[in-house]
């Protein structure tokens, strides 16, 4: 089916016009279903339908094959004629050098076309041109230099390991994915095979497991965008059976011990004791000396890796209080104790280094789920007193747990980062922390596509501003390849 894109009155019955006077086909639901995936994307862009644009991305539409037959315009040309939000969506989900530099039948590139519409749209496109089109030249210029700086030792057992830590934050796991994608884009090859140790909390634990089971970062981004409306359906607390079914399908029922590389460390918390106890699900075997006796097992947060399935470990780590019930009425979100698991990872590594005969880490990468804008809170004492009077003894447990979670989440980007930075400095190990500044305080159960795409745009902008740090990290990573 070919869209009619005339702007005259001859197609007024089958077409309508957008605010800029451009023709949009008026189709029945049956006609829309019969469109090819590429035609569906073209229509979604012309209609500025974010939901449909995202759905086309999830389904794997080849955006390079989307060309308007009437004027030779690609998806970005079409988006320029709509609005800023649609342009950002197309850039985030589909942009590549071919799309950014492609010309329509008039010889205009999207950037040139944007000059007639909006300076903000033009700036957005220019940002992605700087990101995608200039990086290739920089990579070729640096290739010879990087060859000289590579480590001579190719023995995997003695290579300095690379450590990665992934914060918790619900749907803001998309921030983790986007940051990793940006690092990978600058690296020019898959990042995951370079990682030796990974710690994850909550959504960070789920992402770590998915990557360890062979999912790509792009697969994970599509998965998060697809499942958010399924997992966060209805009101809190959400149905845990839905999340568990997805975890089983995505992560399998294999034991966590089946994962050989990287070494996984997933955080959870036991809330059936006071004070709450940190639990660490590991994919690797601990030395026998560290697990002799209940006291040592408690100190190490030990759980037998040979009886724990991957999906259950991820479920225990992501049971956020008030969002999902505790798993087995015991395990809740690791964010209750350490939403940023970097220090747990460093402590674990240093403790095990003499047993595993490990060299110092090559570098430590800590990624957060975004830093929300600061805001002042005004809480009157009278309100607190009235609230406490209404709280029964039976809900004291939940109140304390929720308060602990809030406190830990707010500390993910402050004192913990300072401690980890100082720890790495003492070891002489490069430390990188990326938790992009967000323009809005995004909820961990957010499902609105506009809000989520704006969050991802904030990540791109913040990471471009931090490109010197990204370049330093990439240079260090390349020296390990």
Annotated catalytic residue, options 108, 333, 449, 458: 333
End-to-end CA distance of the chain: 48
Q: Residue 89 is encoded by which pair of tokens?
A: 């969506």
Q: 128-141: per-residue pLDDT in tens?
A: 999 988 655 555 45
The residue among 461 and 399 whose pLDDT is bigger is 461
Residue 159 exposure: Cα atoms within 13 Å on the Cβ side: 21
Which stretch of 332-341, 367-376, 416-425 has the lowest confidence by average pLDDT?
367-376
Q: Is 118 a catalytic residue?
A: no
What was the pLDDT predicted at 19? 55
What was the pLDDT predicted at 392? 46
With residue 431 as reference, give the H or E element that holds it: strand 431-434
What was the pLDDT predicted at 374? 78
Q: Is 202 a catalytic residue?
A: yes
The residue among 4 and 292 whose pLDDT is bigger is 292
What was the pLDDT predicted at 4? 42
What was the pLDDT predicted at 380? 54
Q: 19-49: per-residue pLDDT in tens?
A: 555 556 666 665 667 789 999 999 999 999 9
With residue 270 as reference, give the H or E element that holds it: strand 263-270
Q: What is the mean pLDDT of residues 62-79?
A: 95
Query: Residue 128's Cα: distance from chain center in Å?
Result: 19
The residue among 297 and 224 whose pLDDT is bigger is 224
Q: Which long-range contacts (CB under 8 A, 24 or more apart) does 297-300 make?
A: none
Q: What is the mean pLDDT of residues 240-269?
A: 96
Confidence of residue 291 (pLDDT cuts 50, 70, 90): confident
For all residues of the chain together, what is the average pLDDT? 86
Residue 218 CA: distances (Å) to CA of 92, 93, 178, 205: 12, 10, 9, 17
Given a cut of 50, whether residue 84 has pLDDT beyond it is yes
Complete domains list, the chain, with CATH: 29-132 (1.25.40.20), 162-374+381-479 (3.40.1090.10)
What was the pLDDT predicted at 8? 37
Residue 9 CA: distances (Å) to CA of 23, 78, 197: 10, 21, 64
Q: What is the mean pLDDT of residues 196-218?
A: 97
What was the pLDDT predicted at 316? 95
Which stretch of 11-25, 100-114, 130-144 has the lowest confidence by average pLDDT?
11-25
| β-strands 363-367, 431-434 pairing | parallel
> What does the alpha-carbon distance between residue 274 and residue 317 come to, in Å, rounded to a whole number?
19
Q: What is the mean pLDDT of residues 414-425?
A: 91
Closest C-alpha among 127, 128, 191 to residue 365:
191
Q: Indicate the Cα dihedral angle 176, 242, 209, 93, nearest 10°.
A: -40
Peptide bond before 395: cis, by omega within 30 degrees of 0?
no
Cα-Cα-Cα-Cα dihedral sign, residues 41, 125, 453, 251: positive
Matching residue, tokens 């209404």? 390
Confidence of residue 451 (pLDDT cuts 50, 70, 90): very high
Q: What is the mean pLDDT of residues 318-327?
A: 93
The residue among 261 and 10 whose pLDDT is bigger is 261
Q: Report the DSSP beta bridge partners of residue 163.
A: 197, 364
What was the pLDDT predicted at 157? 59
Let me know: does 364 contact 163? Beta carbons within 8 Å. Answer: yes
Given a cut of 80, whether residue 166 has pLDDT beyond it is yes
Residues with Cβ within 8 Å of 75's Cβ and at least 6 positions away in sequence, in order, are 41, 42, 45, 63, 66, 90, 94, 99
What was the pLDDT predicted at 410? 43
Residues with Cβ within 8 Å of 444's Cβ and at least 6 positions away in sequence, in order, are 169, 170, 171, 172, 203, 320, 323
Matching residue, tokens 């001579």? 152
The residue among 295 and 437 whose pLDDT is bigger is 437
Residues with Cβ within 8 Å of 296's Cβ and at least 6 positions away in sequence, in order, are 290, 302
Percent of the chain's residues with pLDDT above 90: 69
Helix (H/G/I), strand (E/B), else coil: 164: strand
Given a cut of 60, whether residue 353 has pLDDT beyond it is yes
Q: What is the mean pLDDT of residues 272-285?
A: 89
DSSP-assigned letter for residue 172? G
Which stretch of 203-207, 228-232, 344-348, 388-392 has the lowest confidence by average pLDDT?
388-392
What was the pLDDT predicted at 135? 59
What was the pLDDT predicted at 7? 36
Query: Residue 136's Cα: distance from chain center in Å?
Result: 24
Given a cut of 80, whether residue 224 has pLDDT beyond it is yes
Given a cut of 90, whether residue 261 has pLDDT beyond it is yes
Residues with Cβ within 8 Å of 478's Cβ and at least 6 positions away in sequence, in order, are 146, 149, 150, 187
Annotated catalytic residue, options 48, 165, 202, 318: 202
- Which pTM was predicted? 0.86
DSSP-assigned letter for residue 70? T
């Amino acid at each position: 089916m070919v869209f009619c894109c005339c702007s005259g009155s001859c197609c007024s019955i089958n077409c309508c016009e957008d605010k800029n006077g451009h023709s949009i086909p008026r189709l029945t639901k049956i006609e829309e279903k019969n469109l090819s995936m590429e035609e569906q994307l073209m229509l979604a862009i012309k209609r500025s339908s974010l939901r449909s644009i995202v759905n086309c991305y999830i389904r794997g539409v080849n955006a390079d094959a989307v060309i308007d037959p009437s004027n030779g315009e690609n998806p970005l040309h079409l988006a320029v004629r709509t609005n800023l939000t649609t342009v950002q969506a197309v850039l985030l989900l589909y942009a590549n050098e071919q799309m950014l530099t492609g010309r329509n039948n008039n010889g205009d590139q999207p950037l040139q076309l944007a000059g007639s519409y909006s300076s903000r749209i033009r700036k957005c496109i220019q940002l992605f041109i700087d990101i995608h089109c200039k990086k290739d030249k920089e990579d070729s210029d640096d290739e010879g230099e990087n060859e000289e700086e590579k480590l001579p030792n190719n023995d995997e057992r003695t290579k300095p390991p690379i450590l990665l830590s992934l914060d918790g934050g619900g749907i803001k796991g998309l921030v983790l994915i986007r940051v990793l994608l940006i690092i990978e884009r600058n690296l020019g090859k898959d990042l995951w095979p370079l990682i030796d140790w990974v710690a994850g909390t909550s959504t960070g634990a789920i992402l770590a497991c998915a990557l360890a089971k062979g999912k790509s970062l792009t697969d994970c981004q599509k998965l998060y965008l697809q499942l958010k409306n399924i997992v966060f359906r209805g009101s809190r607390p959400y149905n845990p059976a839905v999340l568990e079914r997805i975890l089983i399908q995505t992560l399998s029922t294999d034991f966590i011990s089946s994962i050989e590389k990287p070494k996984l460390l997933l955080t959870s918390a036991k809330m059936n004791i006071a004070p709450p106890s940190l639990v660490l699900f590991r994919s690797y075997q601990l030395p026998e000396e560290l697990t002799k006796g209940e006291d040592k097992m408690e100190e190490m947060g030990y759980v037998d890796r040979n009886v724990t399935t991957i999906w259950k470990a991820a479920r225990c780590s992501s049971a956020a209080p008030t969002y999902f019930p505790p798993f087995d009425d015991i395990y809740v979100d690791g964010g209750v104790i350490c939403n940023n698991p970097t220090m747990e990872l460093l402590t674990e590594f240093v403790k095990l280094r003499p047993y595993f005969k490990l060299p110092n880490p090559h570098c430590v990468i800590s990624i957060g789920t975004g830093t929300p804008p600061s805001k002042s809170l005004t809480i009157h004492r009278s309100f607190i007193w009235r609230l406490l009077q209404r709280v029964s003894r039976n809900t004291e447990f939940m109140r304390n747990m929720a308060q602990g979670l809030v406190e830990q989440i707010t500390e993910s980007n402050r004192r913990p980062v300072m401690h980890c930075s100082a720890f790495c400095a003492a070891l002489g190990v490069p430390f990188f922390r990326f938790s992009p500044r967000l323009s809005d305080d995004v909820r961990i159960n957010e499902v609105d596509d506009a809000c989520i795409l704006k969050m991802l745009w904030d990540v791109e902008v913040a990471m471009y501003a931090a490109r010197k740090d990204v370049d330093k990290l990439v240079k260090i990573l390349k020296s390990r390849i």
